[in-house]
Amino acid sequence: MRYRLKKDKKELTGRVLLPASKSISNRLLILNALSEVPGRLENLSDSDDTRVLEKALQSDVGTIDIGHAGTAMRFLTAYLSIREGDFVLTGSERMQQRPIGKLVDALNDLGARIGYLRNPGFPPLSIHGSRLAGGEISVDSSVSSQYVSALMMIGPALEKGLTLHLENETASASYIHLTRNLMLELGIPVRFAGKTVEIPHTRFKGKDMRVEGDWSAASYWYAIAALAGGGAGLEIVGLYKNSYQGDSVLPEMFGRMGVRTTFTAGGILLTSIPINLKKFEYDFSDNPDLVQTMVVLCSLLNLPFRITGTRTLKIKETDRILALQAEMKKLGILLEADKQGTRISWDGESRTDMTRTMQIKTYQDHRMAMSFSPAAILHPGLTIEDPEVVNKSYPGFWTDLQRAGFAIEELA
């Protein structure tokens, strides 16, 4: 199935209720499962990733298939290693190509018994869960922040607690700080000293909490506001100014891109302002989920850019750098990237002929579908393949687009 998108008027008005933060929801589910008395969690994300994790935590079945849910794979690997029983943790074909060896090595150093059922370093995993003593270990934090978060969250359950030494340059550190802040809110004394994390054995209770809106999901609306220009403004409900989420940098970032953010009692209001930027440069090491949005937007605005901090994009739902190069070429833009994936750029001039159909492939990646959708404002008739992939993080995305004035035609 494909969706053909069109928007007749460039102006943007309306009201959007964002989905709850998937990152916060998934962390709170793990911490709630480890608490002595679970708290009541309201407004959990209705994304596929969160549903899969919630179902797995409630299941006693030995084989758990998490599909495309990368967060669930990392968090459950650690969680199941301290839950008594024997488990097989598996996922989709793409998930079985995403590395998990560094996390498994760290857990096995703590005494866990985790093995590989197919290829060393990759799912599916065989996990024999048992109580672990804990102690002091090192982990390569340059591959995925989720490895660190997964270890941190089981730290309070370990008999000796956990002292974690982070090796190499830490990827997506903002997500590690998100984990720390949620743990602190639950009364777990997490201490950071340079690149060492100390978490003592702690008995803790859950807390009644309401999950805030997802700042990462707001990025697509910021891009739409930047392209749509005038109008009374777009109201986005559910976002907090003082958020734990790393992607709450959007107001500052898009202030340079022609979008003003006004915080309201219930969220934010986006309005257009003049843009004087000649080139966009930014290090996305802490905000990798925003890269696709910004690459597409800058290209559509004919704004040269140089984006760094992109190395982890090669092991996401797809190789996002190669995917961006392939799909932007269909819109006539030739992107440059190095083989290591440390940067992606466009000089503002490297172009080719646009394809006639402008049919965007999504590669089973929700963010490819959503980041390219704003392009329909300038390219009416642009089509998105496999649009259901947005269910991974934002199931109501297409409905919200229609409410904002986009016409969506379903194609066989």
Q: For residue range 162-179, what is the model confidence (pLDDT) as tens digits?
A: 999 999 988 889 999 999
Nearest to 164 by CA among 197, 187, 194: 197
- What is the per-residue pLDDT across 346-404, written as a single tens digit (0 to 9) for each? 999 999 999 888 999 999 999 999 999 999 999 999 999 999 999 999 999 999 999 99
- Residue 54 phi, psi (nearest 5): -60, -40
Query: Mind listing the pLDDT tens digit for each residue in 102-128?
Result: 999 999 999 999 999 999 999 999 999
Q: Are 72 and 100 spatial neighbours (Cβ–Cβ below 8 Å)?
A: no
Count of beta carbons in the 10 Å neighbourhood of residue 7: 21
End position of a domain, from candidates 191, 210, 229 = 210
Q: Which residues are catalytic?
A: 289
Task: Tell me, yes or no, whether 264 and 335 share the same domain.
Answer: yes
Share of the chain above pLDDT 90, in %: 86
The model carries a pTM of 0.90
Q: Are residues 233 and 188 in the same domain?
A: no
CA nearest to 284, candidates 320, 313, 309: 309
Q: What is the pLDDT of residues 302-353, one digit of tens each?
A: 999 999 999 888 888 789 999 999 999 999 999 999 988 899 999 999 999 9
Same domain, 33 and 166: yes
- What CATH number is given to the structural domain containing 80? 3.65.10.10
Average pLDDT, whole number, for the chain?
A: 94
Reported as a pLDDT band with limits 50, 70 and 90, residue 230 is: low
pLDDT at 353: 94
pLDDT at 45 over 70: yes
Please report which confidence band the pLDDT of residue 14 belongs to, taking 50, 70 and 90 as the band edges: confident
Q: Indicate if 318 and 330 belong to the same structural domain.
A: yes
Q: Identify the domain containing residue 278 by its residue range.
A: 2-19+213-411
Q: Model confidence over 180-216: pLDDT tens digits?
A: 999 999 999 999 999 999 999 999 999 999 999 999 9
Burial degree of 96 (CB within 10 A; 0-12, 13-18, 19+):
middle
The DSSP secondary-structure symbol of 258 reads T
Both structure tokens of 317: 């739902």
pLDDT band, residue 412 (cuts 50/70/90): confident
Q: Are residues 119 and 179 in the same domain?
A: yes
Task: Show which of 195, 210, 225 is a domain's final residue.
Answer: 210
pLDDT score at 303: 97
Choosing from 186, 210, 234, the residue where a domain stops is 210
The set of residues, in sequence order, having a beta carbon less than 8 Å from that of 14 and lying 6+ positions away, is 234, 235, 403, 404, 405
Rounded to whole angstroms, the Cα distance separating 247 from 213 reads 11
CB 16 within 8 A of CB 235: yes
pLDDT for residue 266 is more than 80: yes
Residue spans of beta strands (DSSP E) within 178-330:
191-193, 196-199, 209-210, 233-237, 259-263, 267-272, 280-283, 305-308
Residues 225 and 200 reside in one and the same domain:
no
